[in-house]
Amino acid sequence: MLFIIAIILIVGWLLGFFVWSAGALIHALLILAVVSILLSIIRGRS
């Protein structure tokens, strides 16, 4: 579930980056996506 949310956030960031420049909001989405991927990897290994 977390991985799907991360993918959605990354796709939203890419679309926002190329279509609409929102500045801090776009980078916040990217950070959320990276953090959720890292959490899913960490939880998957333990």
Among residues 39, 46, 45, which one has the least CA distance to residue 5? 39
The domain in which residue 22 lies consists of 2-45
Give the SS3 label for residue 20: coil
Q: What pLDDT is attached to residue 34?
A: 86
Count of the separate structural domains present in the chain: 1
Task: Provide mean pLDDT across the span 2-7.
Answer: 80
Q: Looking at residue 30, what is its pLDDT?
A: 80
pLDDT of residue 19: 59
pLDDT tens sequence across 11-45: 877 776 665 665 667 777 788 888 888 888 888 87
Mean pLDDT to the nearest integer, 2-18: 75
